[in-house]
Structure 1
Amino acid sequence: MQETTQQIIVGLDERSYPIDIGAGLLARTPLFDNLPKQLLIVTNTVVGPLYEAQVRAQLFAHDVVTHTIDDGEGAKSLDNFGAIIDTLIAHNFNRDCAIIALGGGVVGDLAGFVAATYQRGVNFYQIPTTLLAQVDSSVGGKTAINHPGGKNLVGAFYQPQGVLIDTQCLSTLNDRDYACGLAEVVKYGIIADADFFAWLEAHQHNLNQRDSAALTYAIRRSCEIKAEVVAADEREQSVRALLNLGHTFGHAIEAAHYESWKHGEAVAAGTMIAATLMHQLGELTATELTRIETLLNGLKLPVRAPKMPLERWQTFMQRDKKVKGGTLRFVLPTAIGAACLRPISDWQAIGAAIAAMSHADARSPL
């Protein structure tokens, strides 16, 4: 018997949309309501062979074209953006078409940006297949591609029409990518829900074992928190910036170690630097700092950043989207369950936190 679907609504007035969560949802008909005739599936070389046929089987009444990109962060590029636009034009896709993103965060970000720009905007739908995408990037309408000068420098806020999260997709995810998603789950507990953080501490073994019930709850609670934040601040003018806990430091790690660190791993290490900075400023207790480190460790995530000169950290972090008036603003935990966005220009304090949580041999789990 099919597991009951759980639904969350992202409340954005006329642009509100559902997030459906459950096991086996890729096998249901219809996948989404009111899909147009012309559909473009954007997927990658890893996810396509696993799930494209299953999705296409539910879309037999539609004219479906698939565009497949390479796997990895490097695929979120201007070249691939142009190639997908070329595919849409070559197949005479009109403004009534829709784009379905089938894959992880790279696929979703890229496909969403294409949807936001093709003929000034066409509908798109998210079918995230990684845990990181299910709890974070597929929800909230952030779309982007990377530029050699930095991550996500070219993009748009553009909401999907719907998100379908099939928890069975996580069974084919490798351990490293699975752990990356857990880094974003932990983030929600730190910034918004102390009870959820305590639940994660109590159920980390279940999550490491990919227990279905534990996963469903963790995904649902993460999506609930993100949906509430997005509804309150869609375009990241205030509270939505808190969702970037660990990301300012993490993006610097990613930029400097592009080939060896994944996004979730960099966020985990970045979260520890942010927490350490607050502890050194006397605003986060030693107990709370230890709880954060212990949970990240328990979920098999790195908690030490690679060593690099402070000037290099500065170069990458000054490109962060939270820079305002020339001052970098950091998302910082004030307690487990609460965080703030704060401008800090004291690079001596920032450097001390980085040094405390860096190690010459620090690396992501390869």
Structure 2
Amino acid sequence: MAMFDNKEKTNIEALGEFGLIKHLTDNIELVQPGTIKGVGDDAAVLDTGGKRMLVSTDLLLEGIHFDLAYVPLKHLGYKAIQVNLSDIYAMNGIATQVTVSIGMSSKFPIEAIEELYEGIYIACKKYGVDVVGGDTSASKQGLVISVTSIGYAHAEDVVYRNTAQEGDLICVSGDLGGAYVGLQLLEREKMIYLENPNIQPDLEGKDYIVERQLKPEARKDIVELLKDIEVKPTAMIDVSDGLASEILHICRQSNKGCSIYEEKIPIDPMTFETAREFNLDPTVCALSGGEDYELLFTVRQADYDKIKFKMDISIIGHITEPASGCNLVTRSGNMHEIKAQGWNAFKPKEAE
């Protein structure tokens, strides 16, 4: 019996990651009164009768999300936790527990898996998170890591993507583009090594951008800072797929437009210089690179005085009416439509 009929099929690449998610989830009907928010934000929001429970899951696949040729297993374990905690912080919550599931092939000795879990436990200890369960399985396709993160926030503190208001200031933590440029550096050194294994990787002086790729840090500190200065963002998301993709999520789900100023986008000098070495535009790296795991959020104009001098927060633009569209104002004053050109997991390698 044939598994599929002969009618014309649609290639997953044509939809892309976000199109596929929308396609698969558009018709979900929520039946539980405790489900406050399902698919469509950084984490689901559940009513537990007290605080809101936040739940998010991420999947990391060898050959798709990471390359063990240059990613140490300890770093990979650490990163697997961080990328999940980031989703909880993007809801203005605090992460409390994770479950970790792995699929592995027989090529991995016990010592290798122990190294992976050492990174997992280091990340959990640093962020005060408990590992409370998971699963293990054999895998024929290499290493698979799935982490589910759980966190909490008071109902009035939860921040969504779809609540930005016209006139709000657009803010971002830290700096952008470093993880993507770090990846380009690691990929280059891998190719040199494959051509001549006698040549050792040359990463001297590039520690920061390599660390941005291999060992990102979720921004729990920003959530705590905003609470300390009594600023509740009007909308928030984490920067996993690039600044452009994330601001478009906020604007489209909030039915608003935006203006972002190129000169205001925070880019570390090492990121800038290394991007130029690769003949890359640093601004494009920040807009489309991804994996920075910073927090992108909007605040009321009335909160400007509270955040304007905070060292690790940059005000990069403002929310506009929807008719204005989503635009980048360049250093020369020209205006360009912002388009999401971030990484697509379903794009064939030869097409990249």
The answer to whether TM tops 0.5 is no
User: Shorter-chain TM-score: what band?
Assistant: 0.3 to 0.5
Of Structure 1 and Structure 2, which has the larger fraction of its residues in helix?
1
Normalised by the length of structure 2, the TM-score is 0.34
Normalised by the length of structure 1, the TM-score is 0.33
> More relative contact order in 1 or in 2 (CA 8 Å, sep 6+)?
2
